[in-house]
Amino acid sequence: MKNKKISIITGVAGTIGSNLAKYLIKKNHQVYGFDNLILGSLKNIYDLKKNKNFKFFKVDVSNESHLQKINLKNIKVDYLWLLAANSDIRAGIKDYKVDLQNTFMTTLASLNFFKKKLKKNSKIIFSSSSAVYGNYKNKFNEKEKKLVPISNYGENKLLSELYIKRFCIFNKLKFLIFRFPNVVGKPFTHGVIFDLANKLKKNKILHVLGDGSQKKPYVHVEELIKCMFFLSIKKNDKHNTYLLGPNDNGVEVKEIAKNIKLLFKSNKKIKFGIKKIGWTGDVPIYSYNTSRLQSSGFSFKNSSLEAVKKAIREKYLS
C-alpha cells in the first residue's frame, strides 16, 4: 500500500512495545519488531504472529554482529522506536552493568545500526523515564538541565537521551524523547500492581515495600501509546523532549494496595514498611508539570488513580 509507514520497534515483546506494535498496525504501519526475549515474552506478541504487517526478530539489539545477520532487505524506515531497555531498577542498583548493557549499549547499537535504514525525514523515538530527575524537589519539567539520577536505571536513560540528542543533531535526524512515569496495564511484566497482586495471591499478609506514602503519577499503557503516536505524527514539532503523564499529583502506594485488596475481594492484612522509599534508588514522591504536553494538544483523560484502577481490574481478570 502506498501510504503504509514502516516502523521498527526494539523491545517489541515488552508491555509498551507489544501494545505499540498492535496500535501501529491498526494505523497502517508495517512493523519490524526486535526483542531478545529476556524481559519481554513471545506470548505478548502472540496475536501478531500471523499478521502480514508484523515481522519479529529474536535478537539482542546491543549486539551489532547479531544485527548484521538479519535480512531486512531494502526497507526504508519512517519511525525507529527505541524501547529495548532494562526495566528492573533494583537489578541495576546491585550491578551498574545491567542498565549499561541493556539500556545504554542497546540504544547505541540500535542507533548506529539502523541509521542507514532511515528515510530522510524519519523520526527516532526514545522511551525515557521520570528516573532521570532523581530526587528533584520541584514538579518535573522538560526545561530543567541539572539532572542527577539516583539509580543506574535513571543514569543510563539520561546517558541514552544525551547520546541520541547529539547523534541526531550531528546526523541531522529528527528525534523525540518521551519521559514516562509509572506505566501500568496488560501485559504485566513488573511494577507495583504486578508485585502487590502477586503477593496478595501468594501470602497471608500483603507486605508493602516502604511506608505506603510514595506518591507518583501513573499512566495506563493504552493511553500512553495513543499519546506517543499523537506526538510522533506531529509535524515540525519545536520540542523534542516531553513528559508524558496526567495532570495530577499521582497516587499513593497505600491507595494502590487498598484498591487491589478491594478488587481482589481480599480480607488479608496489609503491612507497610517503615522507610519512605520502597528500595534504594527509588524516587518516592514526584509529579509532572504537563504544560508542554497539554500545549501540544494532548491531555491524558485518565487520572493516575483511574489508570491504576483500570490496570488492577485487568490484573484481576487475567
- What residues make contact with a copy of itself under the rule CB under 8 A? 64, 96-97, 100, 108, 112, 134, 145, 147-150, 155, 158-159, 162-163, 166, 169-170
Asked if residues 115 and 77 have their Cβ atoms less than 8 Å apart, the reply is no
Nearer to a copy of itself, 177 or 221 (CB): 177
Compare residues 42 and 162 and give the one whose CB is closer to a copy of itself.
Answer: 162
User: Can you read off the three cell numbers belonging to residue 277?
Assistant: 522509599
State the Cα–Cα distance between residues 283 and 55, nearest whole angstrom. 37
Nearer to a copy of itself by Cβ, of 65 and 74: the residue is 65
Of 162 and 262, the one with the shorter C-beta distance to a copy of itself is 162
Separation between Cα atoms, residue 179 and residue 227, nearest integer Å: 12
The residue (of 64 and 255) whose beta carbon lies closer to a copy of itself is 64
At its nearest, how many Å lie between a copy of itself and the CB of residue 109?
Answer: 9
Which of 172, 17, 158 lies closest to 81 in space, CA to CA? 17
**Least spacing, CB of residue 80 vs a copy of itself, in Å:** 17
Task: Compute the least distance from the CB of residue 203 to a copy of itself, in Å.
Answer: 34
259 to 193, 255, 305: CA distances (angstroms): 10, 6, 10
> What length is written for the chain?
318
Q: Contact at 8 Å (CB) between 35 and 14?
A: yes
